[in-house]
Amino acid sequence: MITPRTIRHCRQCGTAVVYRVPDDMDSRERAVCPACGTIHYENPLNVVGTVPVWQDRILLCRRNIEPRYGKWTLPAGFMELDESTADGAARETVEEAGAQFEIGPLFSLLNVVRVGQVHLFYLATLTSDRFDPGPETIEAQLFAEDEIPWDDLAFRTVRQTLEWFFEDRRRGTYTVHAGDIA
């Protein structure tokens, strides 16, 4: 098991941490403060977003930030502490696209173990085709299935979610999908 060593200093007292297994109750290396004894646990982060639908088209945002500057994504971002997954997905859709919509059910859950993230996308029904992209977005645009820029998508979770969406639409029923990005 490889622990990413991303913490350098203790969040309590600022002393440089050391990575070690803190005690015999644990089996993983943690960032342990040699001065005050604080153990810093690191766990996966949730990325939450939507699949915004307008008639037969899907809203994508072109990223104005790294990573993947200039690539297309579904509106999504890191969940905040004071919100539910659905609330976070809705907030990101407002922030990145300035879209007006009604949030729907959970559609996809994807583990991205390599980077310690879980991505969740909710269906959303747009109530307007006017957008007001925020600073993280170059442009927000609607795409039919045959217009999706498959070679310029920002993330594999976005590609997988869109593939599941169009498969479900052809079948005529939408279900929850779960999977892993290898």
- Interface with Zn ion (CB under 5 A): 10, 12-13, 15, 33, 35-36, 38
CB-wise, 11 or 156, nearer to Zn ion?
11
| CA–CA separation, 26 and 3 (whole Å) | 13
CB 59 within 8 A of CB 75: yes
Structure tokens at 82: 């004071």
CB-wise, 10 or 97, nearer to Zn ion?
10
| CA–CA separation, 140 and 126 (whole Å) | 13
CB-wise, 6 or 55, nearer to Zn ion?
6
CB-wise, 38 or 117, nearer to Zn ion?
38
CB-wise, 36 or 65, nearer to Zn ion?
36
| Matching residue, tokens 């015999």 | 24
Nearest distance from C-beta of residue 22 to Zn ion, angstroms: 13
DSSP 8-state class, residue 153: B
CB 42 within 8 A of CB 7: yes
| CA–CA separation, 37 and 22 (whole Å) | 9
Nearest distance from C-beta of residue 176 to Zn ion, angstroms: 42
Nearest distance from C-beta of residue 38 to Zn ion, angstroms: 5
CB-wise, 3 or 15, nearer to Zn ion?
15
| CA–CA separation, 126 and 60 (whole Å) | 12
Nearest distance from C-beta of residue 17 to Zn ion, angstroms: 8
Nearest distance from C-beta of residue 88 to Zn ion, angstroms: 31
Nearest distance from C-beta of residue 18 to Zn ion, angstroms: 11
Dihedral sign from CA coordinates of 84, 85, 90, 95: positive
Q: In 3D, which of 118, 100, 125, 108 has the Cα closest to residue 167? A: 108
